[in-house]
């Protein structure tokens, strides 16, 4: 792991502090950044600062993917099938259920039953002041038309976006540290990246709608194109060109080495901006992060346990079981942060919830890595272990 990755929790904490300090010292800076956006019919759709940050978060990951390996994944259909089922058939719905229970029931009195959040209006809906949309109502705040929604539902939206964004970045690190099958991890990164182009919008729109939250379909699909498809295409084309021009050895040993800190740096810049707007909320109620972190932690452990147990039941080798469980448990918080900020605004509760996902991700996943290493023996006596290894 690089210096950035090894101490990511520390950098995140420092950036949160810097963001809160910036919000108090120079509150106009973050608002100015939030105002820099591509608009459609007067509605901000793509935040330019967030788009730039996310491109630099995603590009170093996408350029590492060898898409020829996706074809070979069919030879190990069990780990691939299990990973896809956990990521897209179970995880989004358990995230919705767990977050709804904790935020909308168990912690509602602490969050505030009457507490509200003001988020961006859904793109293309033509709403006027006083109109109802889902659980919200259109209001005018300081001259701007916004949607007033219950605060806990705004937090729920951020949790949903985390739940429909399986990890395609740091999971490569978690798989490596747990001594998993790097080939399987890389294949699943590629497959999840491609699957997100379709299911991120479909599941996101459905679950946000069930939660009575704004479902701006046009903006949601545009965010997929801007935040996933663009770096995916750029990574694929530049990888092909660089290897052809410089060779694969230079690409792996020199080019990728230079890119190592880029993803984390872009993420940390985004966090400074996010917390510069949410600093006042956190200062007034520091337990807000705790109320959001608890359901996210429960969700992570539940999904990891399901994936790990299912892998053992199916007779997968430990080398495939560990990354399969890790991929399901971890989240693609870069996409979730950017999408929440774009859909609901940088100052929304949804954006804050996705940032809390970053806070718990690193220490929790490192704990799960240690758990995997200590339980390798659970898979050594599996009757199908040798067969699974020969297949992969």
User: Per residue in 223-245, pLDDT tens?
Assistant: 667 766 788 788 889 988 999 99
pLDDT class for 92, splitting at 50, 70, 90? very high
Are the beta carbons of 94 and 302 closer than 8 angstroms?
A: yes
User: How does residue 30 score in pLDDT terms, banded at 50, 70 and 90?
Assistant: low
CATH of domain 3-114+152-391: 1.20.1530.20
Sign of CA dihedral 340, 291, 94, 311: positive
Report the range out of 140-149, 352-361, 376-385 with the highest average pLDDT: 352-361
Q: How far apart are CA 91 and CA 323, in angstroms?
A: 16
Q: At what angle do helices 288-313 and 151-163 cross, to 10 degrees?
A: 30
Instruction: For residue range 334-355, list pLDDT tens digits in order.
Output: 677 777 877 787 778 888 888 8
- Extract the tokens encoding 199: 């299911």
**With 70 as the cut, is the pLDDT of residue 217 above it?**
no
pTM exceeds 0.85, yes or no: no
Residue pair 224/197 in contact (Cβ under 8 Å)? The answer is yes
């Amino acid at each position: 792991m690089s210096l950035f990755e090894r101490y990511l929790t520390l950098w995140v904490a420092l950036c949160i502090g810097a963001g809160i300090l910036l919000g108090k010292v120079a509150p106009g800076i973050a608002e100015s950044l939030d105002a820099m956006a591509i608009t459609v019919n007067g509605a901000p759709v793509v935040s330019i600062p967030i788009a730039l940050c996310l491109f630099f978060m995603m590009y170093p990951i996408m350029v590492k993917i060898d898409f020829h390996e996706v074809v070979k994944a069919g030879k190990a259909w069990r780990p691939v099938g299990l990973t896809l089922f956990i990521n897209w058939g179970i995880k989004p719905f358990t995230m919705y259920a767990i977050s709804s229970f904790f935020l909308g029931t168990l912690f509602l009195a602490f969050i505030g039953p009457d507490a509200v959040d003001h988020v961006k209006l859904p793109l293309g809906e033509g709403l006027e002041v006083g109109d109802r949309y889902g659980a919200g109502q259109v209001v005018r705040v300081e001259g701007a038309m916004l949607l007033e929604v219950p605060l806990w539902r705004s937090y729920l939206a951020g949790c949903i976006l985390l739940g429909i964004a399986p990890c395609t970045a740091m999971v490569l690190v978690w798989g490596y540290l747990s001594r998993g099958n790097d080939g399987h991890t890389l294949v699943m990164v590629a497959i999840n990246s491609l699957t997100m182009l379709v299911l991120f919008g479909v599941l996101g729109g459905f679950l946000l709608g069930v939660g009575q939250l704004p479902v701006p379909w046009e903006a949601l699909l545009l965010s997929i194109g801007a935040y996933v498809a663009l770096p995916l295409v750029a990574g694929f084309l530049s990888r092909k060109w660089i290897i052809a021009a410089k060779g694969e050895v230079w690409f792996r040993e020199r080019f990728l080495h230079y890119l190592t800190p880029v993803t984390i740096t872009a993420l940390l810049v985004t966090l400074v901006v996010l917390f510069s707007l949410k600093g006042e909320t956190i200062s007034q109620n520091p337990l807000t992060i705790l109320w959001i972190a608890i359901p996210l932690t429960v969700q992570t452990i539940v999904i990891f346990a399901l994936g790990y147990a299912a892998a053992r039941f199916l007779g997968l080798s430990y080398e495939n079981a560990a990354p399969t469980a890790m991929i399901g448990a971890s989240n693609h918080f870069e996409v979730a942060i950017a999408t929440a900020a774009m859909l609901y605004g940088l100052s929304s509760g949804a954006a804050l919830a996705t940032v809390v996902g970053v806070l718990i991700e690193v220490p929790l996943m490192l704990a799960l890595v240690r758990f995997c290493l200590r339980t390798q023996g659970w898979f050594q006596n599996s009757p199908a272990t040798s067969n699974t290894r020969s297949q992969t």
